[in-house]
Amino acid sequence: MTVSEGNEGDVPAPRSGDEPKFETPAAHVDFPPVRNGVDYLGSVADHLNLGQAYPRDGQELNPRHLKYAVLHLQAAAEVLLKARLVQEHWSLVFKDPGTAKRDRFEAGDFESCTTTGAIGRLRDIAGVAIGDKPAKSLAILAKWRNRLQHYGLTAPAPAVEVTAAQVLDFLVAFVHDELLPALPGPEAAAVADDLVSVGADVRCITSYIAARVKRLTDELKDVADRTVMCPVCDQWALVLGNPAIPLDCRFCHTTWPNAVLALEQYYNNVVMDGNVQDCPTCTQHTLLVEAVGTTASPEASRSLCFCCGTDFAVTAQCSDCYNAFVPDPDEDYGLCGNCINGAVDRF
Ligand SMILES: [Zn+2]
Ligand SMILES: [Zn+2]
Ligand SMILES: [Zn+2]
């Protein structure tokens, strides 16, 4: 998946003041962006009304609140991730650190790296452990923010809530572990206070989510062999093979107009491996071979069709390209579809 992001705004520029800047080690540098970022987090919790009692009794969140929740969460992520990069070295927030100039940094006048770029640098240069799940949620969030600016918000409210909860949960811990220790005492105390309140709201929604997951697991136990992980919310709640189209995630209600698009996103976000072939049962090009995990069998080893939901137990190895494939019982040449087509093309 490619995520293009804007870079405008919310760059952690140093505070203009009399104190010497950047002559001293990181511990002496002040980071007002952290307070700013945590303030955004509080705004997200308010817009999503996270502190309220769940469930919402069918009350949908107002689209305007959802919109500002996405914008402010993305702003918070940018500010906070980049504040940690600045601790490492100020040049790392430049899109191209090789051309970084200190006066431009101090003026806040430069093109900064993307959120995805910041995550990469935090992992590779600063040695900060950022799990794949939060990284994925951050990428989804960045995509929504971009789409929002051009087309308005197209993601369903529950998907925004779930992704926002995952990102909030990550950012609260990130501020606590990575940013607070380097802040001067009074600043750290103020940020810590704000964090406590956001953290309480996040726990409120995460316990609600946990309760829903439990209920859903129960509801879906009869289709456990064709329920896969949703590529948006990471819950085991995407039931394949339902005659009803569009496909939708039973947890976050993200919908896909057809199985091909659901498979594409699943492939990009969840597995990034395995071959796709025509399904011998329904003939659609939506059978992912030996790469799908289901609720019944979570290790990613099943061969499942995203259209009809058939789980093919038997796979063979293509005698030409050696890839695994599901043989069609009617015409088994020992070759996968690609190699059969290739052989046909040669004649
Ligand atoms: Zn979902
Ligand atoms: Zn099929
Ligand atoms: Zn082959």
Q: Which two tokens stand for residue 3?
A: 């995520």
121 plus 260 within the same structural domain: no
Q: Which ligand is nearest to the CA of 263?
A: 2
State which residues form the domain around 95: 26-217
Q: Which residue has the tokens 């998907």?
A: 159
156 plus 241 within the same structural domain: no
- Beta-bridged to residue 94, according to DSSP, are 112
Average pLDDT value for residue range 311-339: 87
291 plus 186 within the same structural domain: no
Distance 251 CA to ligand 1 centre (A): 5
Distance 259 CA to ligand 2 centre (A): 10
| 342 inside domain | yes
- In this structure, the dihedral spanned by the alpha carbons of residues 186, 189, 195 and 197, taken in order and rounded to 10 degrees, is -110
Q: Which ligand is nearest to the CA of 158?
A: 1
Q: Which ligand is nearest to the CA of 312?
A: 2
74 plus 205 within the same structural domain: yes
CA 211 to CA 132: how far, in whole Å?
Answer: 24
pLDDT in tens, 137-153: 899 899 899 888 888 88
Distance 233 CA to ligand 1 centre (A): 4
pLDDT-above-90 percentage for the chain:
44
211 plus 273 within the same structural domain: no
Distance 254 CA to ligand 1 centre (A): 6
Burial code (b: 16+ CB inside 10 Å, e: under 16) for 176-198 equals eebbbebbeeebbeebeebbeeb
What's the mean per-residue pLDDT of the chain?
A: 84
Distance 275 CA to ligand 3 centre (A): 10
| 2 inside domain | no
Residue 303 reports pLDDT greater than 90: yes
Confidence bin at 227 (pLDDT 50/70/90): very high
Q: Which residue has the tokens 């794949």?
A: 132
Distance 289 CA to ligand 2 centre (A): 12
Distance 327 CA to ligand 2 centre (A): 13
172 plus 270 within the same structural domain: no
Residue type, 138: L
| Total domain count, the chain | 2
59 plus 130 within the same structural domain: yes
Confidence bin at 55 (pLDDT 50/70/90): low
Residue 110 reports pLDDT greater than 50: yes
160 plus 309 within the same structural domain: no
pLDDT of residue 1: 37
Distance 336 CA to ligand 3 centre (A): 4
Q: Which ligand is nearest to the CA of 284?
A: 2
60 plus 135 within the same structural domain: yes
